[in-house]
Amino acid sequence: MADLIRMTAAQVVDSLQRGDITPLDCLDALERRVAEVDGQVNALPTLCFDRARKHARALMERPIPERGPLAGLPVPIKDLTDVAGVRSTQGSPIFKDRIAETSDLVVTHLEGRGGVIYAMSNTPEFGAGAHTFNEVFGVTRNPWNTALSASGSSGGAAVALATGMAWVAHGSDLGGSLRNPASFCGVVGMRPSPGRVAASVFSKIDSTLGVEGPMARNVEDLALLFDAMVGEEPADPLSLPSDGTSFLKAARSGWKPRRVAVSRDLGLPPVDPRVADLVMAAARKLEAEGVIVEEAHPDLRETRECAQTLRALSYANMKPLLDTHRDLLKPEVVWNIEKGLKITGAEIARAEAQRGEMFRRMRTFFDTYDLLLCPTTIVPPFPVEQRYVAECDGVKLDTYVDWLMIVHAITLTASPAISIPCGFTADHLPVGLQVVAPGRGEAKLLAGARFIEQVLGLGAITPIDPRT
């Protein structure tokens, strides 16, 4: 069982497709590993192994070639996304006892591709903020040092991966929620282009800020899961049809970038010098491989104003919860809802125009560069008692999301981006490198990220046992 846990997702799927192991073997290994380590990190507070085994047995009644590309590989789902028959809380006391009646599109899509759902991963309340804690399940701890934050909002997913409680994981990202925890936990998380992964529609049918996406321990495994996530679903009007691209093949293609840009801060300081120095050192290692590396970034100066407006607007639809359950909402969510309700039409129009300009500049920037490299997070992991980063490099930050602007900026440009490990601080805490590609350029992004991963030699640093 220990050997199975330490296999890559690609190796596990190969074994499933050969019939060397079964989906039930995978579930047995995971259940044992969860029992061993989750009490120390609190990544997977809701388990559904009975449901998973029922699904696995049904899948095993089919011939192996008909079990889908994941072939029975288990996948945890972030507790913002419904799984039929499973406790789905949104990390909120308001929904602490809620059992989902139906599954979200992304879940049905994954199950249709041979994924087996066995757990819900922890998240901040309604995914708000990049530190995974809530009043239902408590805090999720960083396995590299359990006194520290795992970041968020897909923090439970990242910790499950880092500790061997998952081979791949589902997450979502509006302001870095797939990328931030990947950086803090030494794993890989990718925000795809809007429309790549279909999801259920709720209050706004054309949102391009929040997306669903994959996480894994390395780039190749992430690409394998991404292949199973992409594709058109009529119930999501923005979902893109698959053009037949195998992102796993793209990741394995051996392509390397010719010219990349690197930036310490995207022109959006502050960034902790320890983080910036590791990112710059990682970028310079590419020069020895014949890659042209230049310090540059597009003009993204409107990010803070634009992100604060559009993020708050996305919370305005939560007014009914504010009216009926204000006392159960954490203060950061209350602040975001109230800010959203005060936004004027002129402010919305200005933010949308700013976003359009940043999108255009980013597209032009990629006429010169294959990829853009920068920090994923502006700080290394911080203490779990701290609700968010309020100061960095001597600069005080105004709100609970100001420390996320380096990832928010990429969200606003609709560019796909991935966080991969790029090094460790002096006290052995992981730091992530954010790699950005042109819109809908996931094939190039994954190929480039795997090339960088191989150059840096950090593709096999997890799973680990939790450390204090």
**Catalytically annotated residue among 78, 256, 330, 444:** 78
For position 68, what pLDDT does the model report? 97
Residue 191 forms beta bridges with which residues? 417
Q: What is the CATH number of the domain that holds 452?
A: 3.90.1300.10
* 352-406: pLDDT as tens digits: 999 999 999 999 999 999 999 999 999 999 999 999 999 999 999 999 999 999 9
pLDDT of 204: 87
Cα angle for residues 24, 27, 30 (degrees, 5° grid)? 155
- Of 248, 190, 220, 227, the closest CA to residue 7 belongs to 220
Choosing from 151, 153, 183, 239, the catalytic residue is 153
| Kind of pairing between the strands at 116-121 and 74-78 | parallel
Assess if residue 362 is contained within a domain: yes
Instruction: Tell me what pLDDT residue 42 has.
Output: 99
Instruction: Burial-class residue 323 by CB neighbours within 10 Å (0-12, 13-18, 19+).
Output: exposed
Quick one: pLDDT at residue 203?
A: 83
Residue 431 structural domain: 2-456
- Is residue 151 annotated as part of the catalytic site, yes or no? no
pLDDT, one tens digit per residue, over 29-46 is: 999 999 999 999 999 999
pLDDT range class, residue 412, cuts 50, 70, 90: very high
User: Residue 451, SS3?
Assistant: helix
Residue type, 119: A
CA angle 126, 129, 130 (to 5 degrees): 120
Which of 222, 226, 219, 132 lies closest to 177, judged by CA?
A: 132
> What's the first-to-final CA gap in the chain, in angstroms?
25
Q: Are strands 259-262 and 292-295 parallel, antiparallel or unpaired?
A: parallel
Buried b (16+ CB within 10 A) or exposed e, 25-56: bbbbbbbebbebbbebbbbbbbbbbebbbebb
| Amino acid, single-letter form, for residue 345 | G
Give domain status of residue 291, yes or no.
yes
77 contacts: CB under 8 Å, gap ≥ 6: 83, 107, 117, 119, 120, 121, 170
- In SS3 terms, 103-130 reads as CCHHHHHHHHCCCEEEEEECCCHHHCCC
In this structure, are residues 163 and 464 in contact, taking their beta carbons and an 8 Å threshold? yes
Write a three-state SS string for 360-428.
Answer: HHHHHHCCCCCEEEEECCCCCCCECCCCCCCEECCEECCCCCHHHHHHHHHHHCCCCEEEEEEEECCCC
Known catalytic membership, residue 319: no
- What 3-state class would DSSP assign to 383? strand
Mean pLDDT of the chain: 97
Rounded to 5, what percent of the chain is helix, strand, coil?
40, 15, 45
Share of the chain above pLDDT 90, in %: 99
Residue linked to tokens 């070639």: 65
Average pLDDT of the segment spanning 403-431: 98
Question: Quick one: pLDDT band at residue 2, thresholds 50, 70, 90?
Answer: confident
* Cis, peptide link before residue 270, omega less than 30° from 0: yes
Per-residue pLDDT tens over the stretch 172-185 = 999 999 999 999 99
Could you report the per-residue pLDDT of 273-304, keeping only the tens digit for each? 999 999 999 999 999 999 999 999 999 999 99
* Residues 125-153, mean pLDDT to the nearest whole number: 98
Span 209-234, average pLDDT: 98
Quote the pTM value: 0.98
Other beta carbons less than 10 A from residue 253's beta carbon: 15
H or E, element range at 181: helix 179-185
Active-site residue, 149 included: no
Task: Decide if pLDDT at 19 tops 90.
Answer: yes
Alpha carbon distance 242, 370 (integer Å): 23
CB 442 within 8 A of CB 369: no
pLDDT at 128: 97
Q: Looking at 92, 177, 183, 263, which residue is catalytic?
A: 177
User: Is the predicted pLDDT of residue 53 greater than 80, yes or no?
Assistant: yes
> CA torsion sign, 324 to 328 to 329 to 334?
positive
| Domain count for the chain | 1
The Cα–Cα gap between 161 and 155 comes to 10
| Inside any domain, residue 463 | no
Task: Please tell me the distance from the alpha carbon of residue 374 to that of residue 118, in angstroms, as a whole number.
Answer: 34
Is residue 77 within 8 A of residue 83, CB to CB? The reply is yes
